[in-house]
Amino acid sequence: MELFSLQKKVAVVIGGSKGLGKGIAIGLAQAGATVVLGSRNQIELDQAAADIRSKVNADVIGISVDITSIEAIQQFVNEVVKLKGSIDILVNSAGINIRKKALDFTENDWDNVMDIQLKYVFFMNQVVGKYMIDEKIKGKIINIASLTSVLGFKGMVAYCSAKAGIIQMTKALANEWAEYGINVNAIGPGYYETDMTKQLFSDKKKVESMIENIPLKRIGLPKDLTGTAILLASDASAYITGQVIYVDGGWLIE
């Protein structure tokens, strides 16, 4: 369907070498986008890009970037534009979590989570947003929020704080950049099977407890996010901005 087509669009997926980011990248490639994966590890990026190309007949490459450096972010954006000609879609899906009781959190723990989950998500938005504004591109930006944006889970004080910040940042940027035709939205995943949640899911009792809170009675898979990502990356969402769509199996219904 043309409304959901991403043909001739270039999508950057930060954190796209694995987990939710890779699942989203596959969906964008299936919809016709040229996809550039970004993360620190070039070997993982090359492996992920090759895997996606084996599944989808699409142009997919990986370019390493240290997202904790504004200078590196700018260089990354310049490289993407040089190689692919444009950036029409940005997905921010890089993630880190440190699970500790609040009283045990160190300043370094706090900074590590906030830097990856909030601070440099903003600067990736800023650099790409400026490029879109300067080039008069009516782009699409998708930030990854979480159930923890609105629910306060034990042992996740920094993660919850950062993800709550993602929502307000998304709304503020959507308001500021609407005049340029840039849509900024967020996706709020529930609990998904990814590398970051492997340790958590090794506890069967915890998994059973989670599933009790999910009306659809299962843990999410990365592919469950692809439809929402395609919606928010395509012309189908032309009149949607500043919103958070929760893809959580119904967790937040109650």
| CB-facing half-sphere around the CA of 71: CA atoms within 13 A | 0
Given the structure tokens 């600067």, which residue do they identify? 123
Q: Which residues contact 101 (CB under 8 A, 6 or more apart)?
A: 154, 155
Contact 79, 71 (CB under 8 A): no
Instruction: Name the active-site residue from 120, 131, 159, 192.
Output: 159
State the CB neighbour count (10 A cutoff) for residue 243. 16
> How many CA within 13 A on the CB side of residue 231?
15
Q: List 14's β-bridge partners, or say none.
A: 38, 92
Phi, psi of 247 (to 5 degrees): -115, 80
End-to-end CA distance of the chain: 34
Q: Is 192 a catalytic residue?
A: no
Dist. CA 232–CA 187, nearest whole Å: 9
Rounded distance between C-alpha atoms, residue 33 and residue 47, angstroms: 19
The CA distance from 18 to 30, in Å, is 17
Catalytically active residues, by annotation: 159
